[in-house]
Amino acid sequence: MVTGTHGRQDMGHTHKATRYTEPRCYDGGVASPPYTDENQRAHGDITYREVCECGATRAVNANQGHFEYGTWNAPKRAAAKTVAYVTPTATPAPTFANPDGREEMVQV
């Protein structure tokens, strides 16, 4: 795999690959001119993703020593969770119906 910075400084620092995803079959070009250059010799073998310590990722095509780099993408943020606030209210005491139909309060 390739190491090095090969990064842009648009997310607060120069990205550096610290880990790599499992390689997959080549699935198309990843270059994004004018930010990264196309390298057709890198087409046809595998595509993997480099991951920076900040969580940013970029796709890389590799084929017999030739590489084509995509642009760094910001890490995906977790979707905000909606929180419902419930105003506490007094809960009525449970009741118990006797066989004769009378209801009695039950102390819990």
What residue segments make up the domains of the chain, in order of their start?
1-76
Residue type, 65: G
Question: So what's the pLDDT on residue 76?
Answer: 75
- What pLDDT digit, counting tens, does each position of 22-50 carry? 999 999 999 998 899 999 999 999 999 99
Q: Render 75-97 in DSSP notation, one character per residue.
A: PPPPPPPP-------PPPPPEEE
Average pLDDT of 80-88? 62
- This prediction's pTM: 0.61
For 11-99, where are the E strands, in sequence order? 17-20, 24-25, 46-52, 57-63, 66-69, 95-97
Q: How far apart are CA 39 and CA 47, in angstroms?
A: 13
